[in-house]
Chain A
Amino acid sequence: GAGVSQSPRYKVAKRGQDVALRCDPISGHVSLFWYQQALGQGPEFLTYFQNEAQLDKSGLPSDRFFAERPEGSVSTLKIQRTQQEDSAVYLCASSPSLGDLGYEQYFGPGTRLTVT
């Protein structure tokens, strides 16, 4: 079946611009996660949704970052007034888990954001 999809795959933004990154999870997956991956590092957790509820946003680095999943499927990660330090790959993952430990997460291809 179809995996997790993300768009755009690449985004170049000028410092100060707002960007919106989209994630389409695997059909039927309840949980959706956003991660940020810097070059040479492992992904770092940003936020987590169970259906439409954002249950954990502890990893969002500042109030410029905002995520939503209004209908419990597609999610959007928005970054306002982008800064150079926001340059990274943004990964979305989905899982069939209802929040229990041990369920596997499947990643999309990521969006590479470059802020100039």
Chain B
Amino acid sequence: QKEVEQNSGPLSVPEGAIASLNCTYSDRVSQSFFWYRQYSGKSPELIMSIYSNGDKEDGRFTAQLNKASQYVSLLIRDSQPSDSATYLCAGGVEYGNKLVFGAGTILRVKS
């Protein structure tokens, strides 16, 4: 089992819809989780971090963490074509918080 797993997609949603991205993780991953957005040819850009069970909202983004089920998700409300990118889920492991990444989910928002 990979330490962080994501569906590679692509996930296609119409403009204005809610995009739901999911990620599961193994026991080795710690209690810190991050969502990064990566446009083609660019580096990962941090969009959300979450450390506690429950929801965390920031603008159109909501991160959800369920430690019992070992999954973390990202909801994007009112999706825009500019949200089209690869979304990387990452978890911190071990002292120093090195990150373990999933392979990423490709999101396509169609206008």
Contacts and interface: CB of A to CB of B under 8 A. Distances in A.
Chains A and B are bound partners: yes
* Contact-size category for B: 20 to 34
Contacts of A89: 43
Contact of A101 (B4, B31, B102): B31
Sort chain A's interface into a size bin.
Answer: 20 to 34
B46 interface: yes
B90 interface: yes
A55 B100 CA distance: 17
Interface stretch (B12-20, B57-65, B67-75, B91-99): B91-99
Contacts of B96: 31, 48, 50, 55-56, 97, 99
Given A42-B104, A108-B43, A102 B98 contact: no
Interface string A39-52: 01111110010100
